[in-house]
Structure 1
Amino acid sequence: MEILIYDGECNMCSRFIRFISKVNKNPNLHITDFNSNWTNKNVKLDPNVDSMIFIKKNKKYIYSDSIIELLSSTNRIFIPLKIAKIIPKSCRDRGYKFLAKNRRKMMNNNACPLPTDKLKSMYLE
């Protein structure tokens, strides 16, 4: 089982999750948020890490690695994105952290669209 844990209160994250559910071809991928019962029971969160967390084969990926690994797991068309790992992790993570820090300013839309059936089937409560 592969799991993406995200900030359910962030509009940017929620839009990204909707995108992931549309392109996902991986039946083993599940999604949940930081405040879910599943996360509380199964994952020890580090309060100093402001990142989506992608868990694959019992390994946690954070910051830019979480996005690269997640996308390459959702659909074969994203596997070439793994080449981004030639960019030093410190540079990739700096960009990720900048977006994470400013995401609420960039995406202030309060509209919350209803989840699709596909997204509901991927979600861990």
Structure 2
Amino acid sequence: MDPAEPVVLFDGACNLCNSSVQFILLNDRSRKLHFTSLQSEVAQKLLQQHWEGANLPDSIILIDQGRVYAQSDAALHIAAHLKWPYALLGMFRIVPRPIRDAVYDWIARNRYRWFGKQDQCMLPRPEWKSRFLN
């Protein structure tokens, strides 16, 4: 399975992640981003095919044109798909990756405590269903 359009894999139980996906859907200027939760079978297949790391990620991943972006790289590449002025967030690529990833990891480690957790993945609005891979 090699998706033709960029795919965002996210933690479907995380309130921060679900809110981020909704924000992305509202601000995706190209309307080409697709989504699936990390808990889905689709995500597991995509990760088996594309993920080369020893540990599977537990937060946001972007697969775009066969390349996999994780942590702050994923967030910044996703930002490039967003409307003005949010696309400007991509400028943070000038910050060295170890610093960006340290901040990202700190937020990711605390996301359940700060934003909460759901028992099940969010149900997308009817107009967004075609953007979710099942």
Sort the TM-score into its range (normalised by shorter chain): 0.7 to 0.9
How far 1:109 sits from its partner (Å)?
Answer: 6.6
Structure 1 117/71 Cα, relative in aligned 2: closer, same or farther at 3 Å? farther
Q: What one-letter code is carried by the residue in structure 2 that aligns with 1:101? A: R
Tell whether the 8 Å contact from 1:71 to 1:79 is kept in structure 2 after alignment.
Answer: yes
The CA RMSD over aligned residues, in Å, is 2.2
In 2, Cα distance between equivalents of 1:42 and 1:32:
10
Query: Where in structure 1 are there 5+ consecutive unaligned residues?
Result: none
Deviations 1:65-86 (A, max 9, x none): 1011011123354332222111
Amino acid at match of 2:68: K
TM-score between the two structures when normalised by the length of structure 2: 0.81
**2:79–2:88 CA contact under 8 A, matched in 1:** no
Query: Quick one: percent identity of the two aligned structures?
Result: 27
Distance 2:117 2:61 in 1: 23
- Cα distance change on mapping 1:105 and 1:37 into 2, 3 Å: same
Q: Is the 8 A contact 2:13 2:118 kept in 1?
A: no
Partner of 1:95: 103
Structure 2 alignment gaps of length 5 or more: none
